[in-house]
């Protein structure tokens, strides 16, 4: 009986060690993912994933332009040209637009006065 009890105890110890290793590996993977997500590598990773979901980024750019309005970032709104990817007649097109141009072409951008902003 004593030999069987020793074998059972050693198996339980082995199960605990394997569980600990598995939990440790999963924790390290989650930590690496979080580090990548909150750094530039994460944004590159996410942009690659978004590439599989669709070509157009018009909605994202419109949301960014509306954020510029909410934060009163006039220079970014009026002068910075954003890369916009969209489909036109089943052709993939990529152009650069300011938020004003995006509103003229696609609509959906909140208005902001660009008077007094000098774009260079």
Q: Express each pLDDT in 40-85 by its tens digit.
A: 666 666 666 665 566 778 888 898 899 999 998 888 898 899 999 9
Residue 24's pLDDT is 94
Residue 30's pLDDT is 94
Q: What percentage of the chain reaches a pLDDT higher than 90?
A: 18
- By the 8 A CB rule, do 99 and 65 touch? yes
Residue 29's pLDDT is 94
Residue 47's pLDDT is 67
Distance CA 19, CA 52 (A): 36
0.85 exceeded by the pTM?
A: no
């Amino acid at each position: 009986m004593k030999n069987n009890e020793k074998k059972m105890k050693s198996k339980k110890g082995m199960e605990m060690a394997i569980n600990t290793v598995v939990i440790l590996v999963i924790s390290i993977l989650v930590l690496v993912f979080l580090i990548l997500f909150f750094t530039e590598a994460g944004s590159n990773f996410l942009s690659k994933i978004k590439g599989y979901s669709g070509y157009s980024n018009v909605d994202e750019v419109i949301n960014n332009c509306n954020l510029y309005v909410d934060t009163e970032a006039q220079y970014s709104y009026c002068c910075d040209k954003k890369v916009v990817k969209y489909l036109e007649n089943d052709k993939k097109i990529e152009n650069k637009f300011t938020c004003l141009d995006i509103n003229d072409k696609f609509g959906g951008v909140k208005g902001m006065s660009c008077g007094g902003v000098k774009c260079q």
